[in-house]
Each structure stands twice: as C-alpha cells, then as structure tokens.
C-alpha cells in the first residue's frame, strides 16, 4: 500500500512529526521556498496584470526531484508548512511545481500551532485547503518589493554607487535610525539641578527626600547660583514631616510573549541577538529529543497574537495550583486582547505543556535552548498568577519656603514574581514605619546635584523592533531580516549593541528621503501593511494595489534629476588636487568613499583618505617600507587594492612592480612560504600562503607574530569576543587563549 505524503518545511520538523505518526506516512522537507522570482531579471509582467514568472531555485532542484518522486508514489498529499502568509505561499508553490505528479490526487493543507502528537493527528483528521487570499497577499508583498528594488536601485547606482539596493521596508527602518542619529547630533544639553536631603529622626534609618517646590511653585533650578541660594536658605532650619500618605497598588503580569516582545526580553535579559533568539526558538518549536520521544516544546514563534487556547490556560492554572498553591491563582482566568492590527493566525508563544518545567527539560537542552525556554515558560505561567501587591508611602516635608518629597514602596505579596522574576519593580526609598506626621527631622546631608538633559538613546535591536512594531511597520516574521539586511548592506553598524548609521547609510537615506519621501516614510509603509492585510481578508484586489503603487513610483522616478542629486551628494573637502589645482570631492564606489578630482574626466586623480577624531578628512598616504623596488630602485609602499593590501612601487604608473603583502610569519604547513593577507569579493579578510596553489593553507583569523606561552607555537591568531567586546589571541595549535 502506498504511503501518504506529508511535506513540511524543515528536516527537524519532519523528524519530530514522523515520531507522532504511523509508518504509513512518508514525510519530506521542502527546505523552505522551492521557487521564487528570478534573481537576474524583473520577473513580473506589468502589462499582464503583474503576472509573476516564478523559477525553481537551482539549489532546490535535488529537493524538487525527491518531492516529485514521493508525490508520484503517494495517494494523498498533505502540505504542512507554517500557518502564515509565507507558509501558505510555500504550500501553493509546491502544488504549482508538482502539478503533474499531483494530478487526480487528493491534496490537503494541514495547519497547527504546536508540534505535538495530539495537534498533528488532529490536523490530519481535519484537513483543509490552501488559503488563496493569503497566497495573494504574500505574492503582492513579494512583487511590491521587486518593484521597489528594480526601479529605485538603478537610480541609486547612478547617484551614489553600483550594487546598492533600496528595500521597501528596510529603507524606512534606515530612515528611523538616521533621524534618531540626527536628533542625537543636533542635541544641545540643558543644565538643571536637584537638591537632595538625607533626613532622619533619632536612631531611625535615614531616607532621601528631593526638593519639589520652592515658594509654592514647582522647583526648577537652572544653574548653580540659583541652587546655592536655596541651599543657603535651607541651612540651619527645621525639617517638618507635614504629611504621610499611604496607598496600595498592584502590578499585573505582562501578556504572554509575541515575536517582538520575546526578541526584546531575550536581548534585555539574556543578551541574545534577534538572530540567536529566533534560531533557538525555531529549534524549540520544531522538536527536541526528550525521554519519551521527540516533541516541540513551544508554540509557533512568529506571531503577533496574544490569544491562548482554553486547554492551555486550564493546564497552566493547574500547574500554578500544584506548584505555588491555589491562593496564587486569580479568581478569573486572565485573558489578554491582541492589537487590532494583529493577524491572529497563531496563539501567543507558550510552552506546549506547562508541566514540562525548565528543570525537567534541562538535561535535554543546550544552554541557549534552556535559557530561552525558561524565559518563555516563566512568562506564560506568570499570566495566570496573582498580581504583585505593594504598599506605598509618600512623605511631604516642609522647610521654610521649600517643600521636599520622598516616596517608597514595600512588597506585600510577590504574586507572579515567584514565577517570573524579571519584571522591574521600582521600590524607591526604604522608609521606616516609625516615622510619623509632625516629626521634626534632622538633616544629615544637603546635596545639590548638577545634571544635564540627555539626547535620545540610539536604537538597540530590541528597541528598534519595538519602534517598528509600534509604528505598524513589518510583521513578526520580518523583524530579524530587516536589521540583518541593513547590516549586510553596510548601511548601519552595531557597536556596543547599538545601531550607528554609516556614512553610506546616511547618504542613501538622504537620497531616498529627498527623492521618494512619499514612499519611504512610516505612515505610507504602515498603510501598505494594512493594505496587504486587506488583500488577505478579501477586501481589495492585489493587482489594483500594485497598479496604484507602480504608477505612482514611475511618476516620481521620472522627476528625479540624477546629475543634480549626484552633485548635491558629493561632499566638498577644500583640498586642492596636486595635479590640476581643482578641488577634491568625496565620491562613492561599491567599496566605499574616496577622494576624486572635481575636474573629472579631464583629471582622473583619486586618493584614499581617513577621518580624524574630529571627523576632518586627512589624505591617507601609503605606508613606506624600508625596501627598494628591484626594477627601478623606487621606494616600496603598502597599497590598498580590490583584494586587500599589497606591496607596490611608489613610482607607479611608470613602474608597475607589485608583490603580496605578508605578515612576516612563516606558513605552518609548508614553512617555505609566508602568510599573506587577502580580501575576498565580499570584503572579508582571510590569510593564505604565498605558495598557493602548491600550498593550500588558509585561515579566517589574523595570524599575529606572538609565540604561544603554552606550546611555543611561533604565532597566535586574533579573535574577537562578542561577550567581552574585546580582541584576544588564541593558539591554533593547542587552543591557549590570551586576553
């Protein structure tokens, strides 16, 4: 009897599902999308209602062949890709590609939010069909991105440099980062002062109070002179505790995680990058080998919904009762509402079984998996626990024309903090309960404090995701891709976990905002996300949306004066060309900025440059070596080329002698050659032997002429520690590390 075929996206998911089903099912992985728009051509027929031309990915031809063979031998075919737009599109593309093999057979779409035995078997018993509207929405998004890329990117090449690209959503994220950078650059700190008093009575613990009113008005101290006058007025006067106000407050638990909040907390609490978070979550979702077999430990991790299944809520409350006691349960089951913009295709991120506690799973998980699973488990359990109860106390202290205030809180009941200890609870001052109204207080110390207003903070990965989500830009599945693309294109850099726009990023943003502001802005991009949702819900036709977008974009492009924009983007330097006397200007190439003569093409003088600490341009002079050229006797210098540094003659172009730039370290494999520095087409450095191809020694880590203190190896390798944000040396022979 022929086996029914189930097609999933990944081998890990296939492995987990296979352990839940009888052997009558043949389970194969498509490895994600098997076809897409062509890479080297537009692939969309504008005149035929934006008809796309899809091609099978060359890397997936072997996978497609296996799927065709499996589909030919099967009676029924179940498409089990993820339950979102991309997953629906993957299923649709499979049907289109395997059309011949599927002819006359039953083809079903099965969906599930978690990979457990119960949900998988239930999905197979209750199969559905491909949601064509979801497919249309995904297709519209894909073609929109192609329209932008193939229409605006060539304009970028003309005005800045070749091989640059402008993504529809990524460009808005870049704009947000650049606008924040401008606010930081333009920010002028304003001075202000606070006055704190350390007050006490008898042997009671002192507390800190802060000046809040001066002469019946809100205290606003702008300089030292004003502050000193008040301090002088307060000295040797009695502090009267005029009022004590007690109150209570509750802190309720946060909703279960959605994609954006999981990424934010994983960054804040675990120091995980977006990529690390999503990769680890994918592993927990697709399946972990545990004692009783393989199981998915969490629900689908790309979601914007806070909805939780009733069965899961019931199981959670049962665990809270058994683990923490019935008194820790709120009277009613706590339910959270999703945002209006949420697609609500999945539940929130939660454990598939709350009784799989982190401590029982520890032996089956990697360190990263355990950390992230613990965070998800704790957050979910906390949703069905009592709030934190606090008792607040606010003290008002009068002294002459001044009024001070102090406040503090005491935790009466820890509530959900027993499960999820990561919620920040600010308690303020620890105020002794024996203080009473009308107490005369002594001042231990009167402390004036100078402060300055601070500029807005640069975005971290977590705060950028939060900003994008709040503005309605992107969707759960796109957040990590957005930031990764910006870094890959070298539009931004991540330093000390904060985003800094590069010179290239600032230039690209200046052009895009100046020429296409109506398209690359927050409001338009958020509206476009809503339009894609409307396509999914059948409210608008995807071709009409694309037509409107395409025609408007064409009109804008026709108005772009590339020569004028290119001239405006070229930065004047005030440096004179030593060949013709014209001014040198900054230009862009695919490898970065360089100095060029403004009299081009009559004068083709170009130079490399650097910027000093003040940002001033300095001409980068080739580093001279204490060696002479064997051909002409000129000085040998270190130059920068397409593939990295090399040694050349200072008499170029009359003398074109060159040789590889070496590090002065013998090759450890042949000992006949030396290690040379090179750069590949992607701009990454690597190190190989000068005897290549006879000797094929290669390493990605920079060799340093330092002997290993452990084994005496004659060189170490330079590595970088993200955790410590510093470089260190490691011996390639024995592994000894030196910070």
- pLDDT score of 480: 85
Which of the listed residues 100, 130, 160 is the one where a domain comes to its end? 130
> How far apart are alpha carbons 563 and 25 in whole angstroms?
62
Closest CA to 9 of 71, 59, 67, 76: 67
Please report, to the nearest 10 degrees, the dihedral formed by the alpha carbons of residues 117, 119, 121, 127 taken in order: -160
Query: In this structure, are strands 726-730 and 737-738 parallel, antiparallel, or unpaired?
Result: antiparallel
Residue 543 counted as domain residue: yes
**CATH number reported for the structural domain that contains residue 493 in this entry:** 1.10.460.10
* pLDDT over 70, % of the chain: 98
Residue 603 counted as domain residue: yes
- pLDDT score of 237: 87
Same domain, 340 and 447: no
- pLDDT score of 459: 95
Whose tokens are 């051909």? That residue is: 631
pLDDT digits (tens, 9 = 90+) for 68-119: 999 999 999 999 998 888 999 999 999 999 999 999 999 999 998 888 888 9
Residue 1 has pLDDT above 80, yes or no: no
Positive/negative CA dihedral, 15, 16, 22, 27: negative
Q: How many residues does the chain have?
A: 739
- pLDDT score of 141: 93
pLDDT band of 322, cuts 50, 70, 90: very high
Same domain, 212 and 106: no
Same domain, 123 and 10: yes
pLDDT digits (tens, 9 = 90+) for 14-58: 888 888 887 789 999 999 899 999 988 999 999 999 999 999 988
Q: Domain tally for the chain?
A: 6
Same domain, 14 and 121: yes
Residue 362 has pLDDT above 60, yes or no: yes
Same domain, 248 and 340: no
Residue 343 has pLDDT above 70, yes or no: no
Residue 494 counted as domain residue: yes
The active-site residue, picked from 78, 300, 479, 687, is 300
**CATH number reported for the structural domain that contains residue 227 in this entry:** 2.70.20.10
Mean pLDDT of the region 244-272: 94
Q: Which two tokens stand for residue 163?
A: 């091989």
pLDDT digits (tens, 9 = 90+) for 207-219: 999 999 999 999 9
Residue 395 has pLDDT above 60, yes or no: yes
- pLDDT score of 475: 79
| b/e 545-584 (16+ beta carbons within 10 angstroms → b) | bbeebbeebeebeeebeeeebeeebbeebebebeeeeeeb
Same domain, 148 and 117: no
What does each C-alpha distance from 499 to 171, 182, 486, 493 come to in angstroms? 14, 13, 10, 6
Q: Which two tokens stand for residue 316?
A: 């959670």
Same domain, 248 and 280: no
pLDDT band of 563, cuts 50, 70, 90: confident
Q: Are 718 and 704 in contact (CB under 8 A)?
A: yes
Residue 149 counted as domain residue: yes
Which pairs count as long-range contacts for 588-597, CB under 8 Å and 24+ apart, including other chains? 588/160, 588/161, 588/504, 588/507, 589/161, 589/162, 590/161, 590/162, 590/163, 590/164, 591/642, 591/683, 592/504, 593/503, 593/504, 595/619
Residue 243 counted as domain residue: yes
Residue 308 has pLDDT above 90, yes or no: yes
Residue 334 has pLDDT above 70, yes or no: yes
Structural domain span for residue 727: 701-739
> How far apart are alpha carbons 627 and 162 in whole angstroms?
37
- pLDDT score of 680: 83
Residue 344 counted as domain residue: yes
Q: What is the pTM of this model?
A: 0.81
Residue 340 has pLDDT above 70, yes or no: no
Mean pLDDT of the region 451-466: 94
Residue 646 has pLDDT above 80, yes or no: yes
pLDDT band of 333, cuts 50, 70, 90: very high
First to last CA, the chain: 64
Positive/negative CA dihedral, 34, 40, 45, 46: positive
Residue 688 counted as domain residue: no
Residue 329 has pLDDT above 70, yes or no: yes
**Cα 99 to the center of its chain, rounded Å:** 38
**CATH number reported for the structural domain that contains residue 113 in this entry:** 3.40.50.140
pLDDT digits (tens, 9 = 90+) for 286-302: 989 887 778 899 999 98
Identify the weakest region by mean pLDDT among 242-256, 537-551, 579-593. Answer: 579-593
Mean pLDDT across the chain: 90
Residue 300 annotated to the active site: yes
> Is the pLDDT higher at 413 or at 710?
413
What letter would DSSP give residue 128? B
Same domain, 584 and 547: no
Same domain, 9 and 66: yes
- pLDDT score of 142: 94
Which of the listed residues 522, 537, 563 is the one where a domain comes to its end? 563
Which of the listed residues 353, 382, 411 is the one where a domain comes to its end? 382
Q: Are 381 and 319 in contact (CB under 8 A)?
A: yes
Identify the weakest region by mean pLDDT among 1-5, 191-195, 468-472. Answer: 1-5
> How far apart are alpha carbons 31 and 52 in whole angstroms?
22
Same domain, 9 and 124: yes
Residue 587 counted as domain residue: yes
pLDDT band of 428, cuts 50, 70, 90: very high
Same domain, 207 and 172: no
Same domain, 123 and 12: yes
């Amino acid at each position: 009897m022929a086996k029914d075929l189930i097609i999933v996206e990944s081998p890990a998911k296939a492995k987990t599902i296979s352990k839940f089903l009888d052997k009558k099912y043949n389970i194969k992985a498509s490895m994600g999308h098997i076809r897409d728009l062509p890479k080297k051509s537009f692939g969309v027929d504008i005149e035929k209602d934006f008809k796309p031309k899809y091609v099978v990915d060359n890397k997936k031809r072997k996978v497609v062949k296996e799927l065709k063979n499996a589909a030919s031998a099967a009676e029924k075919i179940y498409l089990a890709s993820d339950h979102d737009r991309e997953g629906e599109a993957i299923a649709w593309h499979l049907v289109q590609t395997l059309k011949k093999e599927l002819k006359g057979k039953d083809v079903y779409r099965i969906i599930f939010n978690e990979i457990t035995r119960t949900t998988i078997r239930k999905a197979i018993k209750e199969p559905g069909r491909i949601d064509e509207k979801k497919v249309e929405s995904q297709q519209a998004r894909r073609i929109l991105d192609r329209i932008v890329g193939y229409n605006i990117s060539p304009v970028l090449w003309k005005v800045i440099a070749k091989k640059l690209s402008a993504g529809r959503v990524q460009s808005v994220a870049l704009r947000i980062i650049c606008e924040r950078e401008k606010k930081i650059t333009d920010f002028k700190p304003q001075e202000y002062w606070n006055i704190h008093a350390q007050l006490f009575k008898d042997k009671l613990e002192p507390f800190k109070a802060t000046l809040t009113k001066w002469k019946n008005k809100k205290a606003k101290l702008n300089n030292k002179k004003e502050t000193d006058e008040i301090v002088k007025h307060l000295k040797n006067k009695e502090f009267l505790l005029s009022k004590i106000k007690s109150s209570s407050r509750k802190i309720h638990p946060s909703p279960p995680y959605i994609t954006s909040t999981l990424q934010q907390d994983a960054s804040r609490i675990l120091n995980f990058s977006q990529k690390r978070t999503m990769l680890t979550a994918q592993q927990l979702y697709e399946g972990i080998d545990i004692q009783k077999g393989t199981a998915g430990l969490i629900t689908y991790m790309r979601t914007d919904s806070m909805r939780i299944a009733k069965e899961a809520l019931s199981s959670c409350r049962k665990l809270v009762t058994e683990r923490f006691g019935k008194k820790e349960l709120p009277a009613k089951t706590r339910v959270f509402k999703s945002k209006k913009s949420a697609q609500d295709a999945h539940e929130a991120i939660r454990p598939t079984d709350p009784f799989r506690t982190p401590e029982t799973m520890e032996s089956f998980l990697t360190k990263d998996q355990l950390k992230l699973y613990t965070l998800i488990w704790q957050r979910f359990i906390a949703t069905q626990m009592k709030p934190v109860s606090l008792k607040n106390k606010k003290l008002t202290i009068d002294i002459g024309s001044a009024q001070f205030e102090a406040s503090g809180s005491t935790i009466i009941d820890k509530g959900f903090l027993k499960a999820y200890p990561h919620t920040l609870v600010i308690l303020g001052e620890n105020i002794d309960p024996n203080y009473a109204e009308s107490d005369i207080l002594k001042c231990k110390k009167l402390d004036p404090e100078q402060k300055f207003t601070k500029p807005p903070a640069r975005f971290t990965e977590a705060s950028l995701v939060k900003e994008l989500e709040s503005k309605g830009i992107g969707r759960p599945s796109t957040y990590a891709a957005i930031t990764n693309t910006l870094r890959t294109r070298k539009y931004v850099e991540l330093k000390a976990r904060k985003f800094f726009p590069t010179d290239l990023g600032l230039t690209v943003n200046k052009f895009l905002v100046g020429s296409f502001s109506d398209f690359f802005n927050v409001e338009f991009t958020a509206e476009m996300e809503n339009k894609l949702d409307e396509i999914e819900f059948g409210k608008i036709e995807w071709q009409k949306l694309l037509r409107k977008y395409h025609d408007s974009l064409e009109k804008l492009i026709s108005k772009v004066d590339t020569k004028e924009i290119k001239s405006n983007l070229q930065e004047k330097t005030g440096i004179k060309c030593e060949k013709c006397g014209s001014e040198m200007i900054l230009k862009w190439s695919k490898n970065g900025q360089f100095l060029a003569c403004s009299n081009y093409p009559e004068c083709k003088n170009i130079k490399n440059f650097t910027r000093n600490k003040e940002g001033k341009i300095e001409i980068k002079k080739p580093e001279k070596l204490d060696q002479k050229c064997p051909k002409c006797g000129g000085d040998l210098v270190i130059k920068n080329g397409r593939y990295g540094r090399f040694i050349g003659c200072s008499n170029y172009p009359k003398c074109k002698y060159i040789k590889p730039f070496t590090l002065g370290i013998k090759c450890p494999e042949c000992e006949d050659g030396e290690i040379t520095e090179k750069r590949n087409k992607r701009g990454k450095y690597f190190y190989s032997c000068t005897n290549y191809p006879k000797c094929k020694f290669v390493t990605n880590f920079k060799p340093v002429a330092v002997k290993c203190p452990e084994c005496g190896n004659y060189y170490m390798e330079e590595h970088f520690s993200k955790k410590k944000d510093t470089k260190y040396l490691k011996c390639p022979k024995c592994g000894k590390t030196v910070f």
